[in-house]
Structure 1
Amino acid sequence: MTEALETLRQGVRTWLEANAPRGWREACTDHQSFLDTQRSWFAKLVEGGYAVPHWPAEWPGGGRSLAEQKVIYEEFARADTPRLLLSFMSTYHAACTLFEWGSAAQQQHYIPRILEGEIWCQGFSEPNAGSDLAALNTRAERRGDVYVVNGQKLWSTMGQFADKCLLLVRTSSEGAKQAGLTYLLLDLKAKGVTVRPIHQIHGDEEFAELFLDDVEIPVGDRLGAEGQGWAVAQSTLSSERGLTLLELGARLRGSLWRIVGLIRGTGRAEDPGVLRDVGRLATKIDAAVAIADQFIAARIAGEEQVGDASLVKLTYSRTLREFTLLGLRLGGMEAQYHAPITFGGGMETGNWMADFMNSYAWTIAGGSDEVQRNIIAERLLGMPREPKGWTSAGAAA
């Protein structure tokens, strides 16, 4: 197996030497350059068979083992290729949810279009339903063969560039909040949809808000049964906290050279304190990758427990923050200047101030660290549930 993996590694490395985009960081200084780079790089990866190694084997480049996926992602990180931010939701969230919940007709319709470059976003969070996703209020009323949807979605990653949306809506207010949710597939070109980018303080527009006014969605574009949206949404979020974090962990490990470069550049290669901090960080990165590996192995074996994905997500978000904080500290005053961002650069770019600010998004997106800790405590450790109405101050509200 080691020999086979080494052969794969050399094959990926050779392919990247011939095909990896050059100078993309310098080029991606505006949204159009970012879009062009992302689309061309994804198309090249599809052609080369490296775009979706986590997909089933019947799809081009799919069927790769966990060990093979690690090798591919490690080599991409080593070559400093662009992260596929534009197709991130498409190849992970949308595809993985469709593979698990989609009918044969839905899979045959949507999956090939993802490989052709169709962009998806996620419509879960709302102004009053972020970490408490079950509190969402976007309504969908069934009228014959369509659902008529009204409401607003917030923090939709890459929503302003997307063609389709994974939409979680409320179809009933009876019973538990989770029981009234339904999962729909929305065409963002449909009548009544308005998409507005959200301008962020550091200069990016990574997110958008969606306004839905009497939008009609065919019943045939529902995943799962009506009222089963909560279960479908957990599959979507698990793909983010598991499969995607395998890639992100490999990229984080591959980006340690940026920390090493800072040490050498500042003449601190013999500083015991610095070496101690780097050693601790490297150990934490290895642990985060190992936890992601363990999660995926359990999922493949059918042994995944509720809360396993939360453990992966929490570990990665804390490790990413420590990585960017150490880079910011070692970089000194120069690293604290706010340099122009690289659109689509990810969170380990070496622009330490921007990376550090971006790292905090991972402690919130996909479920805050506090929510993940509650899930881990209650579902994995069997601890008592947090009392309803209990405040952070420790007193009943």
Structure 2
Amino acid sequence: MKPDNTADALRMEVRSWLHEHLPRQWRKAMTGCDQEAFVRAQREWFYKLAAAGYATPHWPQGWPGGGRPLAEQKIIYEEVARADAPRLILYFVSLYHAACTILEWGTQEQKQLYLPRILKGEVWCQGFSEPNAGSDLASLKTRAERKGDRYVINGQKTWSTMAQYADRCLLLARSGKSDPPQGGLSYFLLDLRSKGVSVRPIAQITGDDEFAEIFFDDVEIPVENRIGADGEGWAVAQSTLSSERGLTLVELTQRMRYALPRIVATMREQGLIDDGARRRELGELIPKVHAACALADRYLLKRISGEEAPGDASVVKLYYSRVLREFVSLGMRCGGLSAQFQEDFTRGGGQETGNWPVDFMNSYNWSIAGGSDEVQRNIISERLLRMPREPRNWQLSGERS
């Protein structure tokens, strides 16, 4: 088989650009800094990536860097992971969830209005989860009551990433009654500066406040800011949630692979490099990390060839969350007593920074975020293995506690 010179050229191009433009010693600058400094650094990094076309390779042709095939997008994300570049946490929802949803479901007017603003640095957040509606998203209670040419929104959202810095929100709310409940949801593009919106950061165990909760008190949204038809919100939301799959999983698994030397460095620091038990644990972990990378690669290749099956992404996501937990747990054990003390965390890093207490706590996010492990197992069993669905009501199954 002849080598793919185009792919090699792109890889070297991206690698060279990252070598020149990657913020120097960004980890040191982002360790222990406040959230305001982090937001400034994220904006600066976003503008560099956007200008080079590396922030939006997944957008259609005609947009900066857009129109690249998935195979080329994969190369860009692999090189970003290899360079240990900052993750664009501030703009993740903007670049993926918001942009891809608007591109697929938005009117021409909505595309012309919002997409250029994203490229200029407008920040979006996601208003899906609620205090009593996380994995069971269809049970959400936030109301959207139609009054003439406007909807009036009342309710609460939680776990909204970087909402305290966002300009707009992808909002899923209940606009009508339906059985099943998915049919009564509508989807809105909300200006967070609207009257009646309150945003409150959530303090986390790590000391970070990456998430926030949003409160809506008689907030008015024009009908033209609905995306999709009334009651069609569940279908739109599924597109939103699927927009990050593939490339994100490739980047995350590759980041974990390139972070394996951090465990080795910890072993050297603690005098454990010749410890048989720890070396055996590392030897068991390494093939699992490489297997996670291979699963992500295989999944993306199936997407490229059009052979993706329902549940394929869940396999990768579930496996990644389990291997990540093993990765950071080994780092904690190798770090000994010193790894039990929480240090200042690195904003913009992944879940494998080498700050083991923080990494360990953050690793649990991936058992929940983007669909809990239990939800992923249900998807795999029902959609991929075609096993019987769980009864909607446990009483119908004849089971008793």
The residue type paired with residue 41 of structure 2 is T
Number of the residue aligned with 1:95? 99
- CA positional deviation for 1:302: 4.3
1:284 to 288, 308, 314: 288
- Structure 1 pair 182–14 and aligned structure 2 pair: CA distance change class (3 A): same
Number of the residue aligned with 1:114? 118
Q: Is the aligned partner of 1:129 residue 2:133?
A: yes
Q: In structure 1, what is the Cα distance between the partners aligned to 2:123 and 2:314? A: 26
- CA positional deviation for 1:262: 2.5
- CA positional deviation for 1:271: 4.8
The residue type paired with residue 14 of structure 1 is S
Number of the residue aligned with 2:318? 314
Q: Is the aligned partner of 1:17 residue 2:19?
A: yes
Q: In structure 2, what is the Cα distance between the partners aligned to 1:77 and 1:159? A: 25
**SS at structure 2 position matched to 1:223:** coil
- Structure 1 pair 257–387 and aligned structure 2 pair: CA distance change class (3 A): same
- Structure 1 pair 266–74 and aligned structure 2 pair: CA distance change class (3 A): farther
Number of the residue aligned with 1:386? 390
- Structure 1 pair 186–260 and aligned structure 2 pair: CA distance change class (3 A): same
Q: In structure 2, what is the Cα distance between the partners aligned to 1:224 and 1:282? A: 45
Count of residues in correspondence between the two structures: 395
- CA positional deviation for 1:108: 1.8
- CA positional deviation for 1:49: 2.0
Counterparts of 1:76-225 in structure 2, within 5 Å, are 76-225=80-229
Question: Is the contact between residue 250 and residue 293 of structure 2 (CA under 8 Å) also seen in structure 1?
Answer: yes
Q: In structure 1, what is the Cα distance between the partners aligned to 2:26 and 2:253? A: 22
The residue type paired with residue 4 of structure 1 is T
The residue type paired with residue 289 of structure 1 is C
- Structure 1 pair 296–196 and aligned structure 2 pair: CA distance change class (3 A): same
Question: Is the contact between residue 50 and residue 61 of structure 1 (CA under 8 Å) also seen in structure 2?
Answer: yes
- CA positional deviation for 1:378: 1.2
Question: Is the contact between residue 91 and residue 114 of structure 1 (CA under 8 Å) also seen in structure 2?
Answer: yes
- CA positional deviation for 1:265: 3.7
Number of the residue aligned with 1:233? 237
Number of the residue aligned with 1:47? 51
**SS at structure 1 position matched to 2:349:** coil
Q: In structure 1, what is the Cα distance between the partners aligned to 2:258 and 2:54? A: 18
What CA deviation, in whole Å up to 9, does each residue of 1:220-249 have, x standing for no partner? 222221111111111111123433222222
> For structure 1, which runs of at least 5 residues remain unmatched after alignment?
none
Question: Is the contact between residue 170 and residue 188 of structure 2 (CA under 8 Å) also seen in structure 1?
Answer: yes
The residue type paired with residue 355 of structure 2 is N
What CA deviation, in whole Å up to 9, does each residue of 1:156-205 have, x standing for no partner? 01111111111111011232111111111111011111001011122100
- Structure 1 pair 370–272 and aligned structure 2 pair: CA distance change class (3 A): same
Question: Is the contact between residue 295 and residue 316 of structure 2 (CA under 8 Å) also seen in structure 1?
Answer: yes
- CA positional deviation for 1:122: 0.6
**SS at structure 2 position matched to 1:148:** strand
The residue type paired with residue 12 of structure 1 is V
| RMSD over equivalenced CA pairs, Å | 2.1
Q: In structure 2, what is the Cα distance between the partners aligned to 1:362 and 1:297? A: 23
Question: Is the contact between residue 78 and residue 254 of structure 1 (CA under 8 Å) also seen in structure 2?
Answer: yes
Identity %, equivalent residues: 63
What CA deviation, in whole Å up to 9, does each residue of 1:46-71 have, x standing for no partner? 11221122222322122333333333
**SS at structure 2 position matched to 1:240:** coil
The residue type paired with residue 227 of structure 1 is G
2:264 to 260, 265, 268: 260
Q: Is the aligned partner of 1:323 residue 2:337?
A: no
TM-score by length of 2: 0.92
- Structure 1 pair 23–124 and aligned structure 2 pair: CA distance change class (3 A): same
Number of the residue aligned with 2:29? 27
Q: In structure 1, what is the Cα distance between the partners aligned to 2:131 and 2:17? A: 45
More moved, 48-57 vs 118-127: 48-57
TM-score by length of 1: 0.93
More moved, 303-312 vs 92-101: 303-312
